[in-house]
Amino acid sequence: MDKKKIYHFETRAIHEGLKGSEWEGATLPPIFQTAAHHHETADSLSQTFAGQTQDHIYMRLSNPTNRFLEQKLASLESGAAAILTGSGMAAINNACMTLLRAGDEFVASRSLFMSTYSLFTVVFKKYGITVKLIDPRDLDSLQSAINKKTRFVYMETITNPGMEIPDLKAMADIAHKNHLPLLVDNTLASPWLCRPIELGADIVIHSTTKYLSGHGGALGGVVVDAGKFDWSHEKFSDFAPFVTQKGNLAYTFRQFKEHHINFGTTPAPFHSYLTAIGLNTLGLRLERQMENAKTIAHFLDDHPKVDWVNFPGFEGHISYSMAKKQFKNKGFGAMLTFGLKDQEACFRLIDKLDMILNLANLGDCKTLIIHPYSSQYVSFPQELKNELADPTLLRFSVGVEHPQDICDDLAQALETV
């Protein structure tokens, strides 16, 4: 690609990184299925271990297929560097643990993906780390939750399954005023709909399993570093050796050295290959999925058996205006939740569906449904389950199928409710 021409997102998602690669003209990254890489001389291997070359050593450290996707995702998220992981949860863990030490605190949205909630409130607690949970739309509560021990602020662009949309620019301003980085899980929006770094975020995380790969065939995660945060600030004095070596990429370097390598969070390159194929159609898929989501949301809202629908694309929704502003009128995401009268009604609907799939994923090109209360939250203590999940709620991830077929399937299943 002509380095001087600025191509649009959709074009870069397909073409960036391909031409000029040493892959015999391949239009997809080859799968480098090798655990380790041979070096002709002892000196070459030694220099690579010392970080003096960009060559590869061992798959747990780096791999050419993974690196292709890392560079592409960093670019698509307007970041400076990225590290891929074997899952979205590994990415969240790496992103946070790079910053946390025993006794530290951080502030996070109280509306979080279930495993993230569990990692923050149960697992991190074991290591003496405290998370302060706030309403993701309440800027005052963010400022009041910050104290000397706070290391970062953590948000989801669209919360799962709360469907709330925080004001990322305002959050970034408050975080920066306190010399703290803002970390954003951008999974439900994808960089096609929203690029948090352009709004001031410092670190962006994805479960690439979802919209980025888009076909339900690959598991993965990524941590993208904006490369803009000042890690030399006295608040992050423990970053000094990493700043000395890598300057503005101190965070990514530390994440790589301490967490990625030692926790062994590398993805298999086949997953990166599948994700790279999926990326080619990200914009196309999302346009269709978001349009379908609007149609389905209205269909459900008008249906007498449906008690409520939570979709940020409704004018009366608490996050409608934020979605319009933050997503620049491109859409409202492709996920929604809706409620039936009770858990039995939810089960009856799911059991009667013909085409729509009942499974624990989202962001697939296929339409998916799940009853979170009886599945993802089933082993949570009852009190917490009551607080976080609702037995009448169904989560609905809209795919690219013909919208009439999705509505017809829902309609015939709703008859039995």
Ligand X SMILES: Cc1ncc(COP(=O)(O)O)c(C=O)c1O
Binding site for ligand X (CB under 6 A): 87-89, 113, 115-116, 156, 160, 185, 187-188, 207, 209, 219, 221, 362
| Long-range contact pairs involving 242-249 (C-beta distance under 8 Å, separation at least 24) | 245/51, 248/80, 249/80, 249/81, 249/225
Q: How far is the CB of 185 from ligand X (least distance, A)?
A: 5
For ligand X, the closer CB: 89 or 243: 89
For ligand X, the closer CB: 312 or 403: 312
Residues of the chain by 3-state class (helix, strand, coil), percent to 5: 40, 15, 45
Q: Is 189 helix (H, G, I), strand (E, B) or coil?
A: coil
Q: Which helix (H) or strand (E) holds 203?
A: strand 203-207
For ligand X, the closer CB: 158 or 345: 158
* Angstrom distance (rounded) from CA 48 to CA 55: 6
CA distances (Å), 401 to each of 52, 61, 411, in order?
Answer: 49, 39, 16
For ligand X, the closer CB: 12 or 366: 366
- Angle at CA of residue 202, ends 206 and 161, nearest 5°: 40
Residue 375 forms beta bridges with which residues? none
* Angstrom distance (rounded) from CA 271 to CA 276: 9
Give the strands of the sheet with 335-339, arranged side by side. Answer: 308-310, 335-339, 393-397, 368-370, 357-358
Q: How far is the CB of 36 from ligand X (least distance, A)?
A: 26
Q: Are 91 and 221 in contact (CB under 8 A)?
A: yes
- Say which residues have a Cβ less than 8 Å from residue 40's Cβ, sequence separation at least 6: none
* Angstrom distance (rounded) from CA 324 to CA 231: 33
Q: Are 282 and 330 in contact (CB under 8 A)?
A: no
Q: How far is the CB of 207 from ligand X (least distance, A)?
A: 3
Q: How far is the CB of 191 from ligand X (least distance, A)?
A: 14
CA distances (Å), 320 to each of 83, 323, 331, in order?
Answer: 33, 5, 10
Q: Are 13 and 283 in contact (CB under 8 A)?
A: yes
Q: How far is the CB of 361 from ligand X (least distance, A)?
A: 7
For ligand X, the closer CB: 292 or 376: 376
Q: How far is the CB of 390 from ligand X (least distance, A)?
A: 17
* Angstrom distance (rounded) from CA 376 to CA 356: 19
Q: Which residue is nearest to ligand X (CB)?
A: 88
For ligand X, the closer CB: 189 or 322: 189
Q: How far is the CB of 235 from ligand X (least distance, A)?
A: 27
Q: Are 166 and 137 in contact (CB under 8 A)?
A: yes
Q: How far is the CB of 88 from ligand X (least distance, A)?
A: 2
Q: How far is the CB of 94 from ligand X (least distance, A)?
A: 12
For ligand X, the closer CB: 62 or 209: 209
For ligand X, the closer CB: 154 or 236: 154
For ligand X, the closer CB: 79 or 221: 221
For ligand X, the closer CB: 76 or 89: 89
Q: How far is the CB of 115 from ligand X (least distance, A)?
A: 6
